Chains A and B, each alone.
Chain A
Amino acid sequence: GESVGLHLPTLSVQEGDNSIINCAYSNSASDYFIWYKQESGKGPQFIIDIRSNMDKRQGQRVTVLLNKTVKHLSLQIAATQPGDSAVYFCAENNDWGKLQFGAGTQVVVTP
């Protein structure tokens, strides 16, 4: 069935380095993608989104890349900081009202 999945369950990154979190999606009809960050004890927090008519979008220290050919989404975090330690979810919204989440990637920032 349709699914959104993450390649790496845990990503360990040294403080100051760049992080790359990957996500694969299977539904080619998906036209909107979102990255969320979830810190311990908190709800998912919106980071950045991208529509299928774009292949790159930048925010503050974050960049999302979309490759529709291989159905792949990535989140790049520049100069990773301790506060970036969290679980990151990609999600697709191809059916209004049904935001479908991937399994999540735990990012651990080491000093």
Chain B
Amino acid sequence: DSGVTQTPKHLITATGQRVTLRCSPRSGDLSVYWYQQSLDQGLQFLIQYYNGEERAKGNILERFSAQQFPDLHSELNLSSLELGDSALYFCASSGTGDNEKLFFGSGTQLSVL
């Protein structure tokens, strides 16, 4: 168990809908990262937050947004969903002392029908 909690584990929705994925980092970790894993793209970095502030941005679509709350949990919002958004979404966290080593949650499997 990595200590990173993601909910829900599975999400099935329709095109055009909006969903929210939730992540609780390891206790004490200030950084939260979101990754998307699909069969044809592998693990792609989306966005990183550090202590509530956006720190780095990757290949995140404009339809997607994220935030990190004062209690350090994070949410990834996906809107106007398309079939191609179906993927595994992972959250990872890291601490202040070893920022480069990421600990991943079990992921949320999103299926857009």
State the Cβ distance, A44 to closest chain B Cβ, in Å: 5
B36 CB to nearest A CB, Å: 11
**Cβ contacts under 8 Å, B25 to chain A:** none
Q: Are B101 and A46 in touch, CB under 8 angstroms? A: yes
Asked if A99 is at the interface (CB within 8 A of a chain B CB), the reply is yes
Q: Would A98 and B106 be within 8 Å (CB), given that A43-B2, A49-B101, A93-B100 are in contact?
A: no
Query: Is the pair A46, B102 in contact by a Cβ cutoff of 8 Å?
Result: yes
B100 pairs with A32, CB closer than 8 A: yes
Q: Which residues of chain A are near B43, meaning CB under 8 Å? A: 44, 89, 91, 101, 104
B55 on interface, CB distance cutoff 8 Å: yes
Q: Is the CB of B106 within 8 A of A97?
A: no
Chain A interface extent, by class: 20 to 34
Contact A104 B42 (CB under 8 A): yes
Chain A positions within 8 Å of B104 at CB level: 36, 43-45
Whether the pair B55, A97 counts as a contact (CB closer than 8 A) is yes
Assess whether B2 is in contact with A45, with CB atoms less than 8 Å apart: yes
Counting residue pairs across A and B whose Cβ atoms lie within 8 Å, the total is 57
**Complex: how many Å from CA A42 to CA B31?**
21
B48 (CB) vs chain A CBs: closest residue: A97
Give min CB distance, B79 to chain A, whole Å.
24
B17 located at the interface, meaning its Cβ lies under 8 Å from any Cβ of chain A in the complex:
no
B interface residue numbers (CB < 8 A to A): 2, 4, 31, 33, 42-43, 45, 48, 50, 55-56, 58, 90, 92, 99-107
Interface residues of A (CB under 8 A from B): 32, 34, 36, 41-46, 49, 89, 91, 93, 95-104
The 7 A-B pairs at the shortest CB distance, nearest first, are namely A97-B56, A43-B104, A101-B43, A97-B48, A44-B104, A93-B100, A43-B106
> What are 21 A-B pairs at a CB distance below 8 A?
A34-B100, A34-B102, A42-B106, A42-B107, A43-B2, A43-B107, A45-B2, A46-B101, A46-B103, A49-B100, A89-B43, A95-B56, A96-B99, A97-B55, A97-B56, A98-B48, A99-B33, A99-B45, A99-B100, A99-B102, A100-B45
